[in-house]
């Protein structure tokens, strides 16, 4: 079976249209707010000496990892809740989706943690293996939510089974969207940084830039979640899809 990028993208936009209001509510609370709070309360150090950049970054994470972990867990609850809107029964409420996100959080966190370790090792090994694994793990979150796979190893195995033969094509699709998202976010950050600091001053302007960055990050994270849901639906045509029931 050959995957169609256009068909997956069309399904992604269809899912967004079908669940826009509820997805926006979840993304605002679970994706936007944590990102804004972290950016405002835990600003990353500004390093002028490139040779000290790694040490500064390591120190930042060592000092703030409990709060960064908490923010990540909140985001994962939101991510699972958004996927529940796609794969749950028609009429799934925001409250019901959040409950599902909380119940699936241990599996969601453990499976993605293991996947991140695998991809990290792959990127250290000349990058190429990491890119390939990125494609193989693309349906992972959707697998956990749609199939209620609470065993993280089982979820990883299922993701590999679904993406068999499509690792490179899925990696290519994810990279295309990621590059477009990265460019868009970079431009938005640069333009808002110049404009807001000039108009509102450094302190308030910086806060406005953080708001823009958090909003852009939440929007693109949501887009990727729906993209991964569409990938899962393409790989598993029998998957339940509330929007088309």
Flag whether 151 is in a domain: no
**Residue 126, in any domain of the structure:** no
Residue 187 covered by a domain: yes
- For position 245, what pLDDT does the model report? 33
Dihedral angle, C-alpha 161, 145, 211, 12, nearest 10 °: 60
Candidates 159, 172, 190; CA nearest to 8 is 172
Q: What is the pLDDT of residue 239?
A: 60
Which residues lie closer than 8 Å to 66 by C-beta, 6 or more apart?
none
| DSSP calls for 13-76 | HHHHHHHHHHHHHHHIIIIIHHHHHHHHHSPPPP-S-GGGHHHHHHHHHHHHHHHHHHHHHHHH
Residue 110 is predicted with a pLDDT of 97
Residue 241 in any domain: the answer is no
Residue 227 lies inside a defined structural domain of this protein: yes
- Domain membership of residue 11 (yes or no) is yes
Number of separate domains in the chain:
1
Q: Residue 241: its pLDDT value, please?
A: 39
Query: Residue 1 has what pLDDT?
Result: 64
pLDDT given for residue 187 in this prediction: 94
Q: Is position 159 within any domain?
A: no
Could you list the residue range(s) of the whole structural domain that residue 71 is in?
5-42+60-109+166-235
User: What are the 10-residue block averages of pLDDT along the chain, 245 residues in total?
Assistant: 88 95 96 96 80 84 93 97 94 94 97 95 89 96 96 96 94 95 94 89 90 96 97 80 34
pLDDT for 218 equals: 97
């Amino acid at each position: 079976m050959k995957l169609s990028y256009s068909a997956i993208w069309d399904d992604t936009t269809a899912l967004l249209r079908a669940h826009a209001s509820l997805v926006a509510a979840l993304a605002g609370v679970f994706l936007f707010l944590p990102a804004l709070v972290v950016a405002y309360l835990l600003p990353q150090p500004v390093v002028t000496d490139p040779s000290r950049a790694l040490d500064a970054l390591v120190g930042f994470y060592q000092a703030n990892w409990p709060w960064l972990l908490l923010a990540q867990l909140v985001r994962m609850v939101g991510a699972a809740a958004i996927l529940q809107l796609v794969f749950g029964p028609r009429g799934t409420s925001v409250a019901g989706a959040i409950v599902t996100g909380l119940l699936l959080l241990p599996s969601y966190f453990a499976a993605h943690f293991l996947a991140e370790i695998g991809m990290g090792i792959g990127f250290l090994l000349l990058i190429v293996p990491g890119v390939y694994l990125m494609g193989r793990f693309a349906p992972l979150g959707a697998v956990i939510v749609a199939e209620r796979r609470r065993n993280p190893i089982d979820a990883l195995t299922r993701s590999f089974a679904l993406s068999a033969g499509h690792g490179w094509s899925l990696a290519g699709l994810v990279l295309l969207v990621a590059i477009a998202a990265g460019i868009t976010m970079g431009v938005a950050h640069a333009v808002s940084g110049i404009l807001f600091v000039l108009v509102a001053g450094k302190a308030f302007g910086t806060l406005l830039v953080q708001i823009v960055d958090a909003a852009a990050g939440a929007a693109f994270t949501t887009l990727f979640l729906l993209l991964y849901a569409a990938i899962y639906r393409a790989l598993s045509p029998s998957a339940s899809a509330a929007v088309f029931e």
